[in-house]
Amino acid sequence: MIGKIVYLLLRSLGFGAGTWPGEVALRINPHILLSFASQFRKGIILVAGTNGKTTTSLMIKTILEAQGLRVVHNASGANLLNGIVSACIQEASWSGELHADYGVFEVDENSLPGVMTNLSSRVRSDGEAISHNHEIAEPVPNCHERLLRYARNDWKGSPRNDNKQKLIIVLLNLFRDQLDRYGEVDVIAEKWQKSLESLESQDRKTRKTNEVKIIASADDPLVAHLGLHAKTTFFGINDKTKFLPKMEHATDSIFCLNCGSRLKYEGIYFSHLGIWSCTKCGEKRPNPDISEGKSPLPGLYNRYNTLAALCVAKVLHVPADLSNFHPAFGRQEEIGNVKIFLSKNPTGFNQSLRTVLELGAKHLLLVLNDRIPDGRDVSWIWDVDFEMIPKNISVAVSGDRVYDLALRLKYAGINAIICQRLDYALETDKILYVLPTYSAMLEVRKILSGNKIL
Amino acid sequence: MVINIAWLYPDLMSTYGDRGNVIVLQKRCEWSGIDATIVPITLESKVMSLMSCDLIFMGGAQDRQQKLVGEDFLKRKGPVVKEMVEKGIPALFVCAAYQFVGHYYKPYQGEKIPGAGIFDLYTEHPGDQAKRLIGNIVAEIISPLSSRVRSDGDAISYSEIASSKTPRNDNTIIGFENHGGRTYLGSKLQPFARVKHGFGNNGEDGFEGAVYKNSIGSYFHGPLLPKNPHIADWLIAKALEIKYRKVVTLQPLDDSLEWQAHNQMI
């Protein structure tokens, strides 16, 4: 209820209510996610990965809603624990009831283990809430005890569903991204592996209450490796016409996770995604359970997002109806004559560039910020293959680190127009493809539509 | 003139945009009329192809990748690199590579990991509670490294050629650091620069990087060379000097954009 008040208060004051209601609620009750989680009638779906979380989770939501199911979703992209709790608070009644079939949440790479711990602790047989999540602040003892009791009562007293509640974890991919903030790809993968292992051992003990399903990309060796040791539904692309002629520089996982030898690729789609195998130990790309499906959005990366969403539909036995899908904010969103392609790391940027060039873009605006959500380190722009931009395309640059970007383009043989002011850069009658980092994308939306997020 | 630039482990030790260093060396050679070839040296490469190079670059890595490189570098390529560095062939070692050319790296748990012993330095990780040293960094060059290799060697007249509005702050280097290990130099090893803003080698003694003969070790990402073109030119000029046994002056380039990006961070 306090969360609800905070939410309404912030909303009425004109703030985006992405994380604060959840943050406040978590301070009061660190196990609040638990009391929400147990209320979803059918299950919870977590979507994690470096790129594609927002689009994939929106696709899953669209598929479920097309069946008349009620879904709670963190649509604003606030994907830490506090953002997920905020999304629940937003949908909850004053008494804290949710009345929803599914929770569909995109989860930050580093937060996934914490969120999983929060959710899985509820399936302990004694119903006692435990949490190892180090992200949570120490609770105030009295409040904590009281609310814990509330959580327990809620758990015992609400046999809302006879069916097993499903917990589906979708692992999309892992690429280098904001190394100053996230750390290294391998470290994240290691944390995921530990969480998946502990979840599975819990799952075995408590099979009656809860059913865990893992969905993973077969084409990303790192993510597939995590899925190989579990009952996993794999998705992947089988399309030789989309193989790259040459491997990109921005790859992170082209050595076998099992034995350390260099992987052999029959073909690469982008970064380190492709048809891979290890000639030494025999570990290889698993056969995808789903490899066909029409993507509502252009770009090879969206084919992966679509396949992941289709896997969820398959696992839940619902039709994969994406006819009502509209792009998420900043992800191929069109505002007037401006098309926004969020591009926040080397692989994402390469994919956005390739897609807009395929779409026939003639005017590009690239915007580079170095704020906290973007990562303070802008070194990554040197891993992007700007060299692919043909000479007859006009390229403008803007953002906090406009000179860094102009300099990178100079060394790619492109003479970029430097725009100190973003609003001027957006003033055009032509069709403009904008590739911004995260905070820059919010600024672009603010200028064009008056709103940063939704 | 022709130079070969060895890029050590491009698919294993190049995590933080370090490819930028190689792109900058190649392009600046091209713009100066020097025919530069990038020679990727991977695990599978023969030592011979490394020996034919005139300039060496090696970048940062993740732990797993560095382990994969370990044996090949220590037993095969490292000793060759050491010999080349001793001969005065210029090299740039960034972050993990900088740690790797020292005597050892001591993780917070487990045993010391030996290095190639090319630079008289060692690195220690102070424990998992210690903060990583992360952020933008500015430092003042204190090594004997002279940046004035272009034109008549006069930095001021050069900056006038480039752009009168863009001062050429070639006594500073700027970049971004992100490292857990703390590096300590041996008594005879010269530091590269004095930190003005940031942490540097260990966050204690105020120094950043090291210079040995014509080789540089540094924690600077950003990457280092694009926004510090004077360092790139110094490496190129040294490579030509060693190869052709004469002092080489490079033709001036328009570096106004480089210095704008550099000056923005000071």
Give yes or no for residue B99 having a pLDDT over 80: yes
Give yes or no for residue A378 having a pLDDT over 50: yes
- B60 at the A interface (CB within 8 A)? no
Q: What is the mean pLDDT of residues B107-127?
A: 93
Q: What is the mean pLDDT of residues A111-127?
A: 70
Q: Chain A: nearest CA to B133, how far in angstroms?
A: 10
Report the distance separating Cα B222 and Cα B168, nearest Å. 18
Q: What is the mean pLDDT of residues A49-65?
A: 97
Report the distance separating Cα A141 and Cα A27, nearest Å. 11
CB contact under 8 A, B176 and A186: no
Give yes or no for residue B126 having a pLDDT over 70: yes
| Percent of chain A whose pLDDT exceeds 70 | 85
Q: What's the pLDDT band for A13 if we cut at 50, 70, 90?
A: low
CB contact under 8 A, B16 and A377: yes
The answer to whether A439 and A401 are in contact (CB under 8 A) is no
- Beta partners for residue A205, in sequence order: none
- Beta partners for residue B6, in sequence order: B39, B56
Q: Which of A174, A263, A272, A382 to mutate to test the interface with B (most CBs of B within 10 A)?
A: A382
Domains of chain B in sequence order: 2-264 (3.40.50.880)
> CB under 8 Å to A33, separation ≥6 — which residues?
A26, A81, A84, A85, A88, A115, A118, A119
Identify the pLDDT of residue A187: 87
Identify the pLDDT of residue A453: 76
Report the range of poorest mean pLDDT among A45-59, A110-124, A248-262, A273-287: A110-124
Q: What's the pLDDT band for A391 if we cut at 50, 70, 90?
A: very high
Domain coordinates in residue numbering, chain A? 2-316, 331-449
Q: Chain A: nearest CA to B257, how far in angstroms?
A: 6
CB contact under 8 A, B16 and A376: no
* Residue from the list A179, A251, A376 with its beta carbon closest to the beta carbon of B16: A179
Give yes or no for residue B48 having a pLDDT over 70: yes
Identify the pLDDT of residue A129: 39
CB contact under 8 A, B261 and A407: yes
Report the distance separating Cα A344 and Cα A337, nearest Å. 22
- In CATH, the number for domain A331-449 is 3.90.190.20
Q: What is the mean pLDDT of residues A132-150?
A: 37
Catalytic residues of B: 95, 221
Give yes or no for residue B215 having a pLDDT over 50: yes
Identify the pLDDT of residue B61: 84
Q: In terms of pLDDT, which residue wins out, B165 or A268?
A: A268
Identify the pLDDT of residue B1: 94
Q: What is the mean pLDDT of residues B35-44?
A: 96
Identify the pLDDT of residue A31: 85
Q: Chain A: nearest CA to B96, how far in angstroms?
A: 13
Burial label for A5, CB within 10 Å (0-12, 13-18, 19+), is: middle
- Residues of A near B (Cβ–Cβ under 8 Å) read 176, 179-180, 184-187, 249, 251-252, 254-255, 260, 262, 376-383, 401, 403-404, 406-408, 410-411
Give yes or no for residue A397 having a pLDDT over 60: yes
- CATH architecture under which domain A2-316 falls: 3-Layer(aba) Sandwich (3.40)
Q: What is the mean pLDDT of residues A244-261?
A: 89
Give yes or no for residue A200 having a pLDDT over 90: no
Identify the pLDDT of residue B167: 82
| Percent of chain B whose pLDDT exceeds 70 | 91
Give yes or no for residue B228 having a pLDDT over 80: yes
pTM of the model: 0.88
